[in-house]
Structure 1
Amino acid sequence: MNQKIKSEIEKSREKDKMLFEQNKFISMGEVMENIAHQWRQPLSQINSSVLVIDDVLHEKNFKDSIIEEKLLEIESLTKYMSNTINDFKNFFDQDKKYETFFLNELIEKSIYIVKGTFKANNIEIENNINNRYEYLGFQNELQHVIVVLLNNAKDAFISRKIIKPKIKIDIKIISNEYHISICDNALGINDEIIDKIFNPYFTTKHKSQGTGLGLYLSKKIVEQSMQGRLEVKNTKEGACFYIILKTADKG
């Protein structure tokens, strides 16, 4: 009898947990809808301003490689922000469509997104991916995950004042799975919190620098949208994050 009662209590707890998760996701969907509404117009205005500046410079026959690079960077960043808004909205859509893309190209695009801040902080990225790895999934969502991992490493470098900060990115195929590794030399994650870093709202940063949702949402994207896994472990030099995805199709 006691065992049956315990079993029913456990089932009830699991049901409550599922309902809590569903309600939380509904609330997050509403928040993203609000953010999309507030951000879309300013982002459009920024892009328009970039086009005007570019036209004026062209008319005056003014050429400067640094200015041209920065204008392209602004355009790329605003496009990424706009895509991120759509991706979070679409994350809750059950009818979103898969697309085929190359992982190496996606990683290069992700590196370009963070290039400016990485250069400003003298962070080196060693991209060891030379092959074209084809994948069927959600390109923009996966790009968001990679950018989150890169930015988290950057924050760790800065907060710990790491000399010669470096990130290594690689892909290996193990048992019909892509293992995308993003490893840093930022001394690793404290053993006391490493099991908590994917929890919602968990952060070691000041509240003005992070919400604790980046890794949580990244894990949700990889697990729910990609049917994959997002894992982390410490090495001698720092932390290694692994995005593990099936090499076959979405099934």
Structure 2
Amino acid sequence: MFRVFIYVFLFISFLDASIIKKVEVFESTDRSLSVEDIKESKKFKRTKLPFIRASSNIFFLRVTFDKSKLDDELYSVELDTEFNNISVEKDIKYLDIYKNKVLDQSLDSFTETIYIKLNNIDDYVNFNIFVSESNDYAFKQILLSKFFGVAYGIVFAAFLYYIAFFIFNREKTYIYYALTQLSMLGILLFLSYREIENDRFYMDIIFFSFYLFSNLFTKSFLNTKVNTPIIDKILTYSIFLYTLDMLSGWIFNFYFMADMMPLSTLLIVYLIAGYVVYNQGYKPALFYLISWSIMVFSFLFIEFQFYFTTQELFIKPNYIIHVIAPLESLILAFALSYKMKILEEEKLQQQEFLTHQSKLASMGEMIGNIAHQWRQPLTHLSYIMMNLKTAFERDKLTSEYFDKKSIEAKNQLEFMSHTIDDFRDFFKVSKEKELFSLKIAIDEVINLLSASLNSYEIEVKFTYEKDIEIKSLRGELLQVIFNILNNAKDEFIRKDTSNPIINIHLYKEKKNIFIEISDNAGGIKNEILQKVFEPYFTTKDKGLGIGLYMSKMIIEKNIAGKLDVSNIEEGALFSIKIPNK
């Protein structure tokens, strides 16, 4: 297909060279002149195609064809320009068009001489004529439409894809990238299909949107506020300058930026930012750097053609833009995908860190509860030692008395050893699901905390309709119940609650099992109720704020249940819902 495309262009070029007999130009500063005014002028001078000038004047072209070189076919005469408004005189009819104009003519009606007025609205003229058989021209247009369609499809697909990512992830980078692609699609359509004479307003809006969203994308993707503060300020100020430049153009018809500097100079700061951030070790910046390098150097190439070329354009700007736009979309998609991978890895590392912190916090709570559990047996052991010492000093230490106290001491030590075993087994993490009794498991948690709760005179009421067996992660579920009970205890202590009571209710409804834990500590303030499960949020003076966060993660991620909190009349209610599979 690509070879056919090349052959068609070679054929067209050959045909053009043979059929165009001569091209003459008439230059004037009087923009009011029409073709009728200059048709008989003797000031026409011979010139060549393509006709290229950097000038603010208007130009009239007189093109003469060699009709004898034509066969008896239908021909398309394509008048091609990049920037100028054209008026065509053919059979005393004027046709005002923008960019390309095609005149279809048969051999009998083929006009040997046509007059063309170039209104030159951009102070730059680039004009050419192509003559081809209508079938060849139509074939070329079909190829171009398919090529353009692929470009539009890629850019629009990138827009939709990352809009969806933003909706489900709420990451600002995705919405900025999506809107950048939408603006780029607007640029492509604008360059291909604009047919109105005074379109500077629309061009300003489209290019400003592209620069605004690409700027915000750069700031967000590279985190310039942290990584490159100076460049971040430059990017911010450049948006304000661009806005002022646009307003200046609309109000005073003077663009101090757009008309005085190439667009590529505004985008070079993106390359600098990408290079700096990449050197700081942020690998996705490499893809960003590659994509914007292609974009910037393509613009430089286009501008180089306009400012320094006096021959035919190497490649039409419209074709270049339609190639680099989808290419940039694809490369930036790699950059965003790489960033997503890094964010996922960071999220996993953060999760592991929080899990580790949660374990350390739980160990601290465990040691505190072991201390409460050991306080009574240690006191008993102290009394045994004192009794033995007193009996020995008074010469009343008999073997029977010594054996009796030894058995008492042994019992206390065994109780302390069992306490250690209970806590060790309780905090043993196992990812294997096991079948267990919820009633026995909850009793185990209550027993582990009993000494600590009793020391603060906290009463625990556990009610259930019947015992329920469940196959799940036993250790992790017990850790959640432990965290909730421990938080209730801390809240009682912090608020100095009188007659503190914790109610635990176990029941089953249809396909779900519920464990509801409530207290009478006065509840949670409404303004912070929705924050209690956020990481590092705590109301405790020395709390880490990860206990309830990890509890919610365990229930909802590992056990596939639901953990909610609400206020009731006397306090707070934590509800654990577990699917009964």
TM-score by length of 1: 0.75
Deviation at 1:70, TM superposition (A): 8.4
Q: 1:17 to 1:81 in 2, by over 3 A?
A: farther
Give the equivalent residue in structure 1 for 2:437.
102
Give the equivalent residue in structure 1 for 2:561.
228
Pairs aligned (count): 222
Matched, 1:238 2:580: no
- The C-alpha deviation readout for 1:148-170, integer Å capped at 9, x for no partner, is 11110001111111110001111
Q: Sequence identity of aligned pairs in percent? A: 27
SS at match of 1:201: coil
Q: 1:156 to 1:30 in 2, by over 3 A?
A: closer
Tell me which amino acid in the other structure corresponds to 1:165: P
Residue of structure 1 aligned with 2:472, choices 133, 137, 156: 137
Of stretches 163-172 and 10-19 in structure 1, the one that deviates more from structure 2 is 10-19
Of stretches 96-105 and 22-31 in structure 1, the one that deviates more from structure 2 is 22-31
Deviation at 1:243, TM superposition (A): 1.0
> Which segments of 5 or more consecutive residues in structure 2 lack a partner in the other structure?
1-155, 175-339, 372-376, 386-400
Instruction: For 1:32 and 1:168, locate their aligned partners in 2 and report how far apart those are by CA, in whole Å.
Output: 25
Contact 2:445 2:482 in 1 (8 A): yes
User: What does residue range 86-97 of structure 1 map to in structure 2 within 5 Å?
Assistant: 86-87=428-429, 90=430, 96-97=431-432
Give the equivalent residue in structure 1 for 2:521.
186
Q: 1:123 to 1:239 in 2, by over 3 A?
A: same
Instruction: For 1:142 and 1:117, locate their aligned partners in 2 and report how far apart those are by CA, in whole Å.
Output: 20
Tell me which amino acid in the other structure corresponds to 2:556: E
Residue of structure 1 aligned with 2:497, choices 142, 145, 162: 162
Matched, 1:78 2:416: no
Cα RMSD after superposing both structures: 3.5
Instruction: For 2:357 and 2:521, locate their aligned partners in 1 and report how far apart those are by CA, in whole Å.
Output: 33
Contact 1:202 1:213 in 2 (8 A): yes
Q: 1:190 to 1:107 in 2, by over 3 A?
A: same
Instruction: For 1:70 and 1:194, locate their aligned partners in 2 and report how far apart those are by CA, in whole Å.
Output: 44
Give the equivalent residue in structure 2 for 1:175.
510
Instruction: For 1:232 and 1:28, locate their aligned partners in 2 and report how far apart those are by CA, in whole Å.
Output: 21
SS at match of 1:109: helix
Matched, 1:214 2:547: yes
Contact 1:32 1:85 in 2 (8 A): no
Deviation at 1:192, TM superposition (A): 0.8
SS at match of 1:60: helix
SS at match of 2:404: coil
Q: 1:234 to 1:153 in 2, by over 3 A?
A: same
Q: 1:29 to 1:157 in 2, by over 3 A?
A: closer
Give the equivalent residue in structure 2 for 1:22.
348
Contact 1:177 1:246 in 2 (8 A): yes
Deviation at 1:104, TM superposition (A): 0.5
Instruction: For 1:132 and 1:230, locate their aligned partners in 2 and report how far apart those are by CA, in whole Å.
Output: 21
SS at match of 1:244: strand
| Structure 1 stretches of 4+ moved >3 Å | 1-12, 14-20, 26-33, 56-60, 67-71, 74-77, 83-86
Q: 1:107 to 1:70 in 2, by over 3 A?
A: farther
- The C-alpha deviation readout for 1:31-80, integer Å capped at 9, x for no partner, is 789x6xx99xx9xxx9xxx9xx8xx9997322659x957862x4454335
Q: 1:201 to 1:31 in 2, by over 3 A?
A: closer
Q: 1:199 to 1:132 in 2, by over 3 A?
A: same
Give the equivalent residue in structure 1 for 2:24.
none
Tell me which amino acid in the other structure corresponds to 1:211: L
Give the equivalent residue in structure 2 for 1:60.
403
Q: 1:221 to 1:69 in 2, by over 3 A?
A: farther
Contact 2:472 2:559 in 1 (8 A): yes
Instruction: For 1:98 and 1:202, locate their aligned partners in 2 and report how far apart those are by CA, in whole Å.
Output: 30
Contact 1:138 1:226 in 2 (8 A): yes
Q: 1:32 to 1:111 in 2, by over 3 A?
A: closer
> Which segments of 5 or more consecutive residues in structure 1 lack a partner in the other structure?
91-95
Tell me which amino acid in the other structure corresponds to 2:473: F
Tell me which amino acid in the other structure corresponds to 2:424: S
Instruction: For 1:69 and 1:26, locate their aligned partners in 2 and report how far apart those are by CA, in whole Å.
Output: 38
Deviation at 1:105, TM superposition (A): 0.5
Tell me which amino acid in the other structure corresponds to 2:446: I
- The C-alpha deviation readout for 1:178-202, integer Å capped at 9, x for no partner, is 1100110000011111111111111
Instruction: For 1:229 and 1:187, locate their aligned partners in 2 and report how far apart those are by CA, in whole Å.
Output: 24
Deviation at 1:86, TM superposition (A): 3.5
Instruction: For 2:535 and 2:425, locate their aligned partners in 1 and report how far apart those are by CA, in whole Å.
Output: 23
**Structure having greater relative contact order (Cα 8 Å, sep ≥ 6):** 1
Instruction: For 1:204 and 1:70, locate their aligned partners in 2 and report how far apart those are by CA, in whole Å.
Output: 38
Q: 1:164 to 1:70 in 2, by over 3 A?
A: farther
Residue of structure 2 aligned with 1:120, choices 455, 458, 461: 455
Instruction: For 1:172 and 1:232, locate their aligned partners in 2 and report how far apart those are by CA, in whole Å.
Output: 17
Instruction: For 1:100 and 1:173, locate their aligned partners in 2 and report how far apart those are by CA, in whole Å.
Output: 17
SS at match of 2:534: coil
Give the equivalent residue in structure 1 for 2:129.
none
Tell me which amino acid in the other structure corresponds to 1:182: I
Deviation at 1:110, TM superposition (A): 0.5
TM-score by length of 2: 0.34
Deviation at 1:7, TM superposition (A): 3.8
